[in-house]
Chain A
Amino acid sequence: MENGAIIRTTDLTKIYPMGEQSITALKDVSLTFGRGEFAGLVGPSGSGKTTLLNIVGSLDVPSRGSVEVLGHKVETLPHKKAAELRNRHIGFIFQTFNLLPVYTVYENVEFPLLLLGMPAAARRKAVLAALDWVHLADRAKSRPNQLSGGQSQRVAIARAVVKKPELVLADEPTANLDAENSHHILRTMEDINREIKTTFLFSTHDDKVIGHLRRKITLVDGRVAKDEPGAAAKEAR
């Protein structure tokens, strides 16, 4: 893809059949995201933010149109290849943290590296580095149920970035957090974005997140209503 673009959607449409009717979640969405962006999809509930994030993350496929992520066409990607793409190049952060409950903090962060087949020594180094980024090295042995919401989301961030992916998709990452924790994890993600040039794509309607975005795409009823520089970009100017 030209100009360092790592995501390109072309006339992306997603329709969910609901019995005899259908719901159009996305309609003719054409967007391009470059490497190292810190961008967000904003809009009210049901505007198609999560659907777009899922398709970009190869967790779902478009009904029409095309989506290209890191050179892979999502709509034609076999299950195994899609899993490999997610495993090697994409990190996910969820609203409800989605930590694996029977694993410790360390094991949760280590999980993507195990899937990659990374040697034990390199794995350990990478996990400890990721936990350092999110300031949770001292909680490595804790289980998810022993963590606060903010700590859980920081573990989820560490897990998403531990393999240094090209792309991190964060779906409402601050929805379950208070203001202080929200700012803390957003600053963490900004640091990581700056440090390892990972592209962050958010889905949010949280003003706290919106305030940190360098690019803001507003979705309304599945269409791109506005694509503009975010507050952080405006401040930087």
Chain B
Amino acid sequence: MIIPKLALRNMLGAGAKTWLNGAVLSMAFVTIIFAQGLYRGFDAEVSKTLIDAEYGGGQYWVEDYDPYDPFTLQDAHAVPAPPLRALIDAGRAAPILIVQGTLYPAGRVLPVAIKGIDPAQRQLSFPTNVLTASGDGIPALIGSRMAKSAGLAVGDTVTVRWRDVRGAFDAKDLEIVQVMTTTAQTIDEGQVWLPLATLREMAAMPGEATIVVLDRDASPVAAAAGWSFQGLDVLLKDIKDIIKGKTIGASVLYAILLFLAALAILNTQLLSIWRRRKEIGTMMAMGVTRGRVIGLFTFEGALNAVFAAVVGAVWGIPLLAYLAVRGLSMGANQGDSFGIAMSDTMYPSYSAGLVAGTTLLVFLITTIVSYLPARKISKLKPTEALQGRRA
């Protein structure tokens, strides 16, 4: 127990040096936890947005449907298989029919995906209920990005042309009943939402759908011939991959940050050992063994990490808690530039594992960079140390 006691004495006795070390290391602690928390929050936020607005509890896709290939839409429609129909009838799933079409806003031509959805559906959180509005044309719901690119506003009428199941082209006027604001571009850009029954009638596809969105708590059905289940792990894979890529990118930043913190500790330890050679020689003269010299300096370094964790907790916990509650403004529609469903305010999310992992990592690095110069100084002869010679 002598080494911890002496290390603590040395650390407390070092005054300003200890505080400086603690401040630098605590910044590394808090910054890493904050940045990691931001990515965790980012992940949670984007996943939630997409689940709420698009994926629900998972989707069934009709055979041949490929969301990245609009040419598949011509054939990607069918009457949902009986087990899916049962879920739809029970109000636990929402069928969506997707038809390729063209919009003609103010003389321009815009290719769009026309999506039919039941206005009374409860699986996705966007205002489909407005699609029941009666007016001159077919009620249509669009997102703010779509409204901006098409130059449309609520109350505008716009012509839409589509091809029905037999290959015949037809056109009708749509009335924009609402422009919704959503962070999920995937239900906004290049899309027009219509009542499902209307679109089925327009496309001559009675009772058919392209995808079926499940309730968040619904389990996939055992067998739905002609339909394949896409779980959240599949649907969110792209976004998870993006976040993973960004997290790896951020890891470089952490590595630099930790390297700088480690360098600061190493520098302090080297300087400390350089200045304390005579002291070390004196200790050796009094009977401190080489092992104890190593132990003392290594323990001092480790104590610095513990102290930094305490300092970091004192100023970091209130700051991180504040940011977790108030969020961090990313600027309006920043998610659009990332191409993902990111809200204007990000809320960092921290876990015990994140805090413990970061603390352990900083602790280990600090201990290692303290051990290295300690090992070197311990090789010094007591007489050389007493004369203040270099190790």
Contacts and interface: CB of A to CB of B under 8 A. Distances in A.
Contact of B287 (A87, A101, A103): A87
Interface string A80-104: 1001111110001010101011110
Given A59-B284, A83-B284, A100 B279 contact: yes
Nearest to A79: B290
A102 B14 contact: yes
Given A83-B284, A114-B2, A115-B287, A98 B386 contact: yes
B13 A94 contact: no
Could you tell me the dominant secondary structure of chain A's interface residues?
Answer: helix
Interface in B1-59: 2, 5-6, 9-10, 12-14
Contact of B288 (A60, A83, A101): A83
A208 B291 CA distance: 40
A86 B282 contact: no
Given A59-B382, A60-B381, A98-B278, A87 B286 contact: yes
A204 to B, nearest CB: 17
Interface string B281-299: 1111111111100000000
A92 B10 contact: no
A24 interface: no
Contacts of A87: 286-288
B351 interface: no
A59 B285 contact: yes
Contact of A115 (B12, B281, B286, B290): B286
Given A79-B289, A83-B289, A86-B287, A101 B383 contact: no
B285 to A, nearest CB: 5
Nearest to B11: A102
B287 A88 contact: yes
B288 A103 contact: no
Contacts of B289: 79-80, 83
A92 B290 CA distance: 18
Could you tell me the dominant secondary structure of chain B's interface residues?
Answer: helix
B2 A117 contact: yes
B365 to A, nearest CB: 25
Interface in B323-348: none
Contact of B383 (A59, A80, A103, A159): A59
B9 A102 contact: yes
A57 interface: yes
B383 to A, nearest CB: 5
B74 to A, nearest CB: 81
A40 interface: no
B286 A86 contact: yes
B327 to A, nearest CB: 45
A31 B103 CA distance: 111
A85 B289 CA distance: 11
B301 to A, nearest CB: 16
Nearest to A91: B286
B284 A114 contact: no
Contact of B282 (A60, A98, A115): A98
Contacts of B383: 54, 59-60
A88 B288 CA distance: 11
B287 A84 contact: yes
Interface string B76-90: 000000000000000
Contacts of B281: 98
A107 B14 CA distance: 14
Given A102-B9, A115-B2, A83 B287 contact: yes
A206 to B, nearest CB: 20
A159 B6 CA distance: 16
A86 B285 contact: yes
Interface string B351-391: 00000000000000000000000000000011100100000
Contacts of B290: 79, 83
A184 B12 CA distance: 34
Contact of A92 (B13, B279, B285, B291): B285
A103 B9 contact: yes
Contacts of A83: 284, 287-290
A103 B284 contact: no
Contact of B13 (A84, A96, A102, A117): A102
A54 B279 CA distance: 16
A115 B9 contact: no
Contacts of A94: 282, 386
A79 B382 CA distance: 10
A112 interface: yes
Contacts of A85: 287
Contacts of A103: 9, 13
6 contacts: A60-B382, A79-B289, A98-B278, A98-B386, A101-B279, A117-B2
Counting from the closest, the 7 A-B pairs by CB-CB distance are A87-B287, A102-B13, A98-B282, A59-B382, A83-B289, A86-B287, A92-B285
Given A87-B286, A94-B282, 16 more contacts: A59-B381, A59-B382, A80-B289, A83-B284, A83-B287, A83-B289, A84-B287, A85-B287, A86-B286, A96-B278, A98-B281, A101-B279, A102-B10, A103-B13, A115-B286, A117-B2
Interface of A: 54, 57, 59-60, 79-80, 83-88, 92, 94, 96, 98, 100-103, 107, 111-112, 114-115, 117, 159
